[in-house]
Structure 1
Amino acid sequence: MPPIVTGSIITSIGLHLCFISYGQITTSPFDTYMSVATAGSIMLISVYAPTNAMRRISLLLGTIIGYGIHAICGSKNIGPSINYSGIVSSPWFRAPEINYQIEFDSQSIGMVLPILVVFLAENLGHMKAIQSIITTGPPMLKYIGRAYLGDALGCLIASVGGTIPFTTYAENIGVLSVTQVFSPLVILFAAIFAVLLGFFAKFSAIVKSIPSGVLGGVTLVLYSLIVITGIRIWVVNKIDFNDTRNVFIGGVPVILATVMQTPLVLGNFQLDGIGVATFLSIILYQLLRGFDEWKQCFSDIRRSFRN
């Protein structure tokens, strides 16, 4: 995909997800204060921490600070207390429940297949976004086939295990941007560690106990970084917004993704704001080629038939 389309998709993802942060931040006035404290802590640590190691874990440190402030305020009756009942009642270790009942439904398969186009475009956009952050190393698009294969295998394993398929999460782009850690080996160990943590029921309960306001502050920072990553793609590739075509491709999908919080329903088929923005970016890029490009396109088609 060209940079104007990729930037539009990534920016749309970030802005669409920002409404999740907004909902968490505005749950109550106290949650708003906690969001400000958490997001402020993350940003201050990222800029003023004395060591690079502290800057790279600013998200974790900011979350801990926000959680601690919320716990102290709750104990002093300044705000609502954190519910620790789940942490106390959960066992230390618990194996995840796996449902092996596999069923093939042609109607469900037909509904999911069109969504693959969105996932493919979204995954490619993620790869280009990461490439815009990384300044050294081989081109990321060289490994796009591996990324698609990894997604496919992950969805297959998840489906066999009885859960829903999944896709790459744009939040991780924000994490990479903050930590500046891009080593595949480090990410592999982090993934293994995350899987092992899934067997610790206490840890899952602690994560679930994180208040809405604290989560809102963390996600606000992450989603903002995703938006900036999309804009950076436009800037790095010097997109000319004096060109009306680029204005429409970069503007209309982004606005729709921002305001569209209810899925578009077409029969049994649903698309959220990200999906609509992805489809629309690709379609607009093809439709708004201009006379010269369409002539060249038809010329290439005729030449291919003659050969």
Structure 2
Amino acid sequence: MSKQVIDIHEKPTGGQLVTLSFQHMFAMFGSTILVPQLVGLSPAIALLTSGIATIIFLLVTQFKVPAYLGSSFAFITPMLLVSGGLDPEGAAIHPGNAMIGAMAVGLVYAIVSLLIYKSGYKWIMRLLPAVVVGPVIMVIGLGLAGTAVDMAMNISVEQVNPDSGETELVKQYSGKHFSAALVTLFAAIIFNVYFKNILSAMPILLGLVVGYIYSAIIGIVDFTKVKEASWFALPDFLIPGVDYEFQVTSNILLAMVPVVIVTISEHIGHQLVLGKIVERNYIKDPGLHRSILGDGLGTFVSALIGGPPKTTYGENIGVLGITKVYSVYVIMGAAVIAILLSFFGKAMALVQTIPTSVLGGISILLFGIIASSGLRMIVEKKVDFSKNRNMVIASVILVVGIGGAAIRFSEAFSIEGMALAAIIGVFLNLILPGREKNAEEFEEE
């Protein structure tokens, strides 16, 4: 057996449970609230839905898989695309579109889960080899590189247009804000590289804290929202038919659904890594179909009340590996704490005062890590680039995805960027000769 301190179904004492649960909550906190900040949603609703989605996942997987579900970074670009970008206040212009797309993603997860239940899992391994998924993950990170740098370096200022005489927001370089971004970036790097144990598992949160303190010292944090906020506040729910018109369009589906190619692969990878840590075979028991269904239901319910799509979090898997505490009670405790914290008005207001430059600094590292993880997958799966088919597939995915290529059938019907790159990658892998059917499958542990 593994050298666990507390095994999966063992219940810690009261004090241990609270302490260990807070540890997991802090590990996921930075990344989970960063996604809504980037796509113009409420950090409070993201925190609330992460807790709800985690509880759903634990229920579906029969309390056998100690995984925490947080906000997925893979959907940032498509969510910005379908929601029409952000308004001057930093809120999504049409957030309902992103919610509709996330619900569709959850349904696709359910369909894939059913197919795996009926026909086994090996077909999906063949459909999603590293030569396809690796470059698409790189596109996710590199495609957001410009956004991260812009957030880090530039601020929005009001200027009068000399031609129209109207006041408009323009981007302007700010050395003071860029310094906050750099402090945040290097703090996160230091915690990740030089610290050990639990501190190295939450560099995003700790980098944000250091960057925020520095920003407050140099005077770029406005605490007005915190002073005005009440101690108790409801998260900003987005209910279909109430807060937005529920209208499914081809553009929403084509922008959001193809990303499932990446997120399901990420999910499988997490299940394999988690299985190695706790010495269990999660592909067989409770089964890949159950874990994918739990992820999908969590995403669907999250979108139903206004939260971003969900994914199992590597940060929390890292905490499991470091602490050797595998108890599902601890994961459940972290979910409950996240739910309670989402109603703490002043805490959520404090989150919203984080300067954009600080978010930009942490995004430089985070988006770079996403891109590098795609490269890491290619290396670890030993993709042979001496073969022309592999070189062609990866090259086309990278240029189509990063270049923002689009197929527009009409104003209301188009496939763009990362979604188009993922679809083309899967298509090329299926039709080009020389595919090794079993070489790139995930190993059954």
Give the alignment's TM-score, normalised by structure 1.
Answer: 0.76
Q: Compute the displacement of 1:114 (Å).
A: 4.9
Let me know the Cα RMSD of the aligned residues: 3.4
SS of equivalent to 2:215: helix
Q: What secondary structure is seen at the aligned counterpart in 2 of 1:108?
A: coil
Counterpart of 2:182 (choices 36, 39, 43) is 36
Of 192, 196, 219, the residue aligned with 2:363 is: 219
Q: Match for residue 92 of structure 1? A: 231
* 2:192 is aligned with 1:52: no
What's the CA shift string for 1:131-157, capped at 9, x where partnerless?
686654446655542343234323442
Higher share of residues assigned strand? 2
1:300 aligned residue = none
Residue identity in the other structure for 1:145? H
Q: Residues 158-173 of structure 1: matches in 2 within 5 Å?
A: 158=302, 160-161=304-305, 163=306, 166-168=308-310, 172-173=313-314
> For residue 152 of structure 1, what is the aligned residue in structure 2?
296
**1:59-118 alpha-carbon deviations (Å, 9 max, x no partner):** 2222111111111111xxxxxx21111111111111235465549x99726555556751
Letter paired with 1:108: V
The correspondence of residues 134-153 of structure 1 with structure 2, limited to 5 A, is: 136=277, 137-138=279-280, 143-153=287-297
Query: Which amino acid in 2 is paired with 1:88?
Result: K
Which among 83, 96, 107 is matched to residue 222 of structure 2?
83
List aligned pairs for 1:104-183, cutoff 5 A.
108=248, 112-114=252-254, 117-130=257-270, 136=277, 137-138=279-280, 143-158=287-302, 160-161=304-305, 163=306, 166-168=308-310, 172-173=313-314, 175=315
Matches within 5 A, 1:287-302: 287-290=431-434
Matched, 1:4 2:131: yes
Show the counterpart of 1:15. 142
Residue of structure 1 equivalent to 2:210: 65
- Conserved 8 A contact 2:255-2:416: no
In structure 2, the residue matched to 1:250 is: 394
Secondary structure at 2:310's aligned position in 1?
coil
Contact 1:55 1:179 (8 Å CA) reproduced:
no
Shift of 1:202: 1.2
AA paired with 1:87?
A: V
Is the CA contact 1:90–1:205 (under 8 Å) kept in the aligned structure 2?
yes
Match of 2:403 among 243, 259, 265: 259
> Which residue type is aligned with residue 40 of structure 1?
F
Any conservation in 2 of the 1:15–1:254 contact (CA below 8 Å)? Answer: no
> What CA distance in whole angstroms lies between the structure 1 residues aligned with 2:376 and 2:317?
12
Distance 1:125 1:69, change over 3 A: same
Q: Is residue 127–residue 140 contact of structure 1 (8 Å, CA) maintained in 2? A: no
2:384 alignment partner AA: D
Larger mean Cα displacement after TM superposition, 22-31 or 37-46: 22-31
Is the 1:24–1:31 Cα contact (8 Å) retained in structure 2?
A: no
Q: Counting helix residues as a fraction of each chain, which structure ranks higher?
A: 1
Q: Which amino acid aligns with 1:273?
A: G
Structure 1: give runs of 5+ residues left out of the alignment.
75-80, 294-307
Q: Identify the range of structure 1 (20-29 vs 266-275) with the bigger mean alpha-carbon deviation.
A: 266-275
% identical aligned pairs: 26
Change (3 A) 1:148 1:169: closer
Is the contact made by 1:129 and 1:230 (CA closer than 8 Å) also made in structure 2? no
Aligned to 2:106: none
Say how many residue pairs are matched: 281
Q: TM-score, normalised by structure 2?
A: 0.55
Partner residue, 1:24: 151
Q: Which one-letter code corresponds to 1:120 in the other structure?
A: V
Distance in 1 of aligned mates of 2:298 and 2:360? 28
CA distance in 1, matches of 2:432, 2:327: 39
Contact 2:299 2:310 in 1 (8 A): no
Q: 3-state SS of the aligned residue for 1:279?
A: helix
